Chains A and B, each alone.
Chain A
Amino acid sequence: MTGAELWTTAAVFGPLLASLVALGGRPAALKAGLLLGSVTTLAGSLGLWLQVLQHGPVRHLLGGWGAPLGIELWADGFSVVMLAVTALVGAAVSLYSLSYFGDLSTLDAETSPAGRAARYFVPLWLLLWSALNGIYLSADLFNLYVTLEILGLAAAALVTLAVTPRATVAGMRYLIVSLVGSMLFLLGVALLYTEFGTLALEELSAAAPGGPMAATSLALMTVGMAAKTALFPLHAWLPPAHAGAPAPASALLSAVVVKGSFFILVRLWFAVYGGGSEAGLVLMGGLGAAAILWGSVLALRQRSLKRVIAYSTVAQLGYMFVMFPLLAPEGLGGPDPRWSDDAWIGGILLAVSHALAKASMFMAAGNMSYAVARDGLRDISGVAHRLPMSFLAFGLGGLSLAGLPPSAGFVGKWLLLREALSAGGWFWVAIITVGGLLTIAYVLKVLRHALDREASDGDFRPVPRRMEWAALLLALASASLGVRATEVFQVLLQGGVQPWT
């Protein structure tokens, strides 16, 4: 029994067990659940990180059966990095949620919505967490479908924890989009099984799918996952949902949940389909570019802080899809298409920095709304002077999104630009630069209100220190990643873009 089995089990089933423990409902159970979930996931991801760093991709044959028959848990550089980011963000948000819902012991789940939210946030989040870990480690199509279902249901439930009508509608809309997306994905799985008779991704990539049926299935799965990742044309459900949810929920949704379906898309397009088609890659990049422009422009027009951050998610997701065309600068011709390491690591660094920065920004916004129960841009100036750490976290997060040093975003953008310039992709260069400037514009719009002079001293609920520290911790992580990212660089090279060739 090598270490891999132990760490993968811990990563996937740790949070699952923890959620069952948390179902107990009493504060002690909730705390125990969070602690168990965090510890097992952190241990699992750290263990896997070291395993992958030394031995390259590792696999865990569940039930002892081989690929076509049984299901495998498979970890390479990309999955390990996503595991680690989810663990880090998850731990910080768990810490945050302990004090966000108020004093758990006094809250009565039956009467007060806050009590009900507190009691059911923890199990739902832990289920979500195990689903995410499951996605990052799964190497089987149908298994991906079922994990996606858990992700979808739990995420939609997180949104409807909020009591306001608007959040309920947003949660419903999110559930419908998510279910439609899953159905389309399942149809894609059906087509692939019909064509190749196997569900294991490794065998599928060996069969090098290219026929019309495989292309249709990829199209179906892409649209399904794009709906769940809120890629540009299908993004409209995200802002109301992520902005309306309670703060820890919106932090998780924006930072890690959307990354799950993004991960699946990258796996399908590159690991299984070997890049799909050049036109397809350019289409995905184009949609990403449109997402950047549309998301940023709308973020500029929003009046509430959380909606600005939510639309910023739509925009920043666009960046990750800009990675697609840059990964294959010389096209997909030739036996083994040369994947550009710069674009691969740059894109993933952007994803990582977005996860960390977005979580810290939502938590900072959560602190503000916790303090004054208002979220308008006009009310920020009153609060900013009394929550300096939160707004420092928001500022640092904004820097990371905009790709200003010191931040992982800056390094990621530098690498993406280097790839785009060496391949002469002037359109992508322009998009990346303009995107950065637009991001700065809406971050500045928020900070401008924060730096206004008159501090309104309305009734102000003191924010527990722990909540501010959680937000700042993630922002600092993103900043420090901007100074030292070699370890991430090396582990991402293990398994690379197409691990199974």
Chain B
Amino acid sequence: MEGLLSVLLVLTWSFPLFVALLWTSARLRGAGLQLAPFAALPGLLLALLAGGLPAPPEVGAPMTEVTLPLLFTGVDLVLDGTGRSFLLFTSILWLAGGLFARAYHATDVRRGRFFLFFSLTLAGNLGLIVAGDMLAFYLFFALMTFAAYGLVVHAASTEALRAGKVYIVMAIVGEVLLLAGLFSLGGTFGGNPAFGAQLESTWVDLAAGEGPTFGGAAVALLLASGLGVKAGLIPLHLWLPLAHPVAPTAASALLSGAMIKAGLLGWMRVLPAETPLPEASTVLLVTGALAALYGVVAGILQDDPKTVLAYSSVSQMGYMAMGTGLLVAHPELAPWAGVALMLYAVHHGIAKGALFLSVGLADRVPRGDGDRARWWILGGTTLPALALAGLPLTSGALAKNTLKEGLGEMGGTTYSVLEVYLPLAALGTTLLMARFLATLWRRREAADPGTRAFLPFSYGTGTLVAPWAALVLLGAGGMAWLPISVDVPANVALPGPGAEVLVGLLPVLVGAAVGWVVWSRSRDPDRRGLLPEGLAGARVPAGDLLVPVEAVLRWLPLPNQEEWVESLERRGRRGRARMRLAARQLDRLAARDVETVNGTLLGVILVALGAGLVLLLMG
């Protein structure tokens, strides 16, 4: 069993890589296309098998471990509790996305390139989950980031390229910040610290100030912001709302569901478990809270369902950021906060994936005929939406209550603030979800009219609907399988389904009511899903904060070196011309040189004679 697990551990990221390599040779490209959607299977298999094992004695202990001394700078791969749950929901999402994409892109002429980047990103994503040491994590994190660019710009339209450009610039800035942090950790440790014990001792040294570089706080901030770009923290989230609408639906589902979670996993791995980091936690808490609210406000004011979902992801990640902030500030909260974060992540991943796929599905529903199918889709979509909103009995409620339970342990002012904050957040999310359903309803014209034809309930639609349906059901039935997927340590008791029903139910009902009121007020059918006139004006442009930043960049007078180089060359040419003129004078002098032979003997011999005489006489 142990051998199989370690083989699977290696296979999770090497199998997708192998599939990607098939693309380089023309003949094998077809096989690559077939294999790509199922590339996540080894990962899922590993997660399920590992699940079956008896829960390890203490939380962090790795279930299975493989070290590859030769590879890179000595890569060791680890699968522990958090890893397993991340692996589980990520591989589920990637499988669903893969199947969906295979059908969705059946007629796309450039699907070869799509699946190339799809498998590369998959390899990166799974790899960073099972990475056991800092550099391996960074390796797979970089692979995922840069490969995802291929998915974002797949449509290769101008907006896609612009969004891709923003995405890659932000990604690189994130990489650089992350690397700066890693350098400091590496410098203190003097090499490549593995997660767990070695990392902790490094943080202890850093906190004590022995590290060769900036203090512990600065390093934590660097790491947090580096990973924050991926996780969409407020100032660094600009690429998210831009990337999702342009990316193919399956890609944006994976982007939102699985990839931004990598940021969260990064925080949990890299930031110290024992040594408290007060400054980093306050930053995380503040930005998290801000993100949660801002996400809702900006999301509501959008028309495109995918953008709404993007902003919803920003707000959800805000919650997770707050959770991490708490975890970092109060290490003693580790078991509770850890489990709460895990539940939240898994629940959000599944639910967000389902919502995105529904948008894709909506694209394929033909206009007018068969409203029946469209109602089907709307109905199905409301389930994960409600879960996301935190309706009791759904995975959302479980995750929120666990979070509250954990915070309860802590007590004190923060708890009271959170006591108020959480229902408010739930209300906001519900409103956002209502807005999403409205925009989904209006989704008359499909995103790309070319591929619009509604496929009969044949093989094509089947593979479209099946993954969507699987995710919806999983989302809805969260309460059942969620506790199993997360290895809950002994001392943490998950709240029962019935806990806090009333407190949970109220915000959802209020949100739904407000949504219904807005929906029913707008009489004429075509304005039905639109925003009320008052609010319509306050349109938040795509990529909100980016617009002012770009304006500033355009205004900055960047020095244009080419002009400077050309002026240099012009001066060079003039110099050479002057030199040639001087050379011409020299020519005339040289001509005299020969002519003077007749005259020279006259003067020069004697001058030399005289000079020689005088000097020698003196000498």
Task: Name A residues whose Cβ lies closer than 8 Å to a Cβ of B.
Answer: 173, 177, 180, 212, 215-216, 218-220, 222-223, 226-227, 233-234, 236-237, 239-240, 276-280, 283, 287, 297-298, 300-301
Contact = CB atoms under 8 A, between A and B. Distances in A.
B618 interface: yes
Given A218-B612, A236-B596, 14 more contacts: A219-B612, A219-B616, A220-B609, A223-B612, A233-B605, A233-B608, A234-B604, A234-B608, A239-B594, A276-B619, A277-B619, A279-B618, A287-B608, A297-B586
A283 B611 contact: yes
Nearest to B597: A236
B517 interface: no
Contact of B615 (A173, A236, A283): A283
A287 B608 CA distance: 10
Contacts of B67: none
Contacts of B609: 219-220, 223
A301 B600 contact: no
B490 interface: no
B583 interface: yes
A233 B600 contact: yes
Interface of B: 583, 586-587, 590, 593-594, 596-597, 600-601, 604-605, 607-609, 611-613, 615-619
Most chain A CB within 10 A, of B587, B612, B615, is at B612
Contact of A237 (B597, B611, B615, B617): B597
29 contacts: A177-B601, A212-B617, A215-B617, A216-B613, A219-B612, A219-B616, A220-B609, A223-B609, A223-B612, A226-B608, A233-B604, A233-B607, A233-B608, A234-B600, A234-B605, A236-B596, A239-B594, A240-B594, A276-B616, A277-B619, A280-B615, A280-B616, A283-B611, A283-B615, A297-B586, A298-B593, A301-B583, A301-B586, A301-B587
A407 B617 CA distance: 40
Which DSSP category, helix, strand, loop or mixed, fits chain A's interface?
A: helix
Contact of A280 (B583, B587, B590, B612): B612
B24 to A, nearest CB: 39
A301 B587 CA distance: 7
A17 to B, nearest CB: 37
Contacts of B608: 223, 226, 233-234, 287
A219 B613 contact: yes
A223 B617 contact: no
Contacts, number: 71
A180 B600 contact: no
A283 B614 CA distance: 11
B605 A227 contact: yes
Contacts of B615: 277, 279-280, 283
A50 B619 CA distance: 38
B618 A277 contact: yes
Contacts of B590: 298, 301
Contacts of A240: 594
A239 B608 CA distance: 20
Most chain A CB within 10 A, of B583, B594, B616, is at B616
A279 B619 contact: yes
Nearest to B592: A236
B529 to A, nearest CB: 72
A220 B609 CA distance: 7
A297 B619 CA distance: 32
Contacts of A287: 608
Given A280-B612, A297-B586, A298-B593, A215 B619 contact: yes
A439 B586 CA distance: 17
A215 B613 contact: yes
A357 B570 CA distance: 40
Contacts of A223: 605, 608-609, 612
A279 B607 CA distance: 16
Contacts of A283: 611-612, 615
B608 to A, nearest CB: 5
A280 B618 CA distance: 9
B581 to A, nearest CB: 13
B456 to A, nearest CB: 69
Nearest to A169: B597
A281 to B, nearest CB: 8
A278 B619 contact: yes
B594 to A, nearest CB: 6
A212 B616 CA distance: 8
Contacts of B605: 180, 223, 227, 233-234
Contacts of B597: 173, 236-237
A234 B594 CA distance: 11
A280 B613 contact: no
A236 B607 CA distance: 16
Contacts of B601: 177, 180
A215 B594 contact: no
B603 to A, nearest CB: 9
A301 B601 CA distance: 24
Nearest to A226: B608
A233 B599 CA distance: 12
A337 to B, nearest CB: 13
Contacts of B617: 212, 215-216
Contacts of A237: 597
**Which 4 pairs of residues, A with B, have the shortest CB-CB distance?**
A277-B619, A215-B616, A219-B612, A236-B597
A283 B617 CA distance: 13
B19 to A, nearest CB: 51
A234 B600 CA distance: 8
A220 B606 CA distance: 10
A239 B601 CA distance: 16
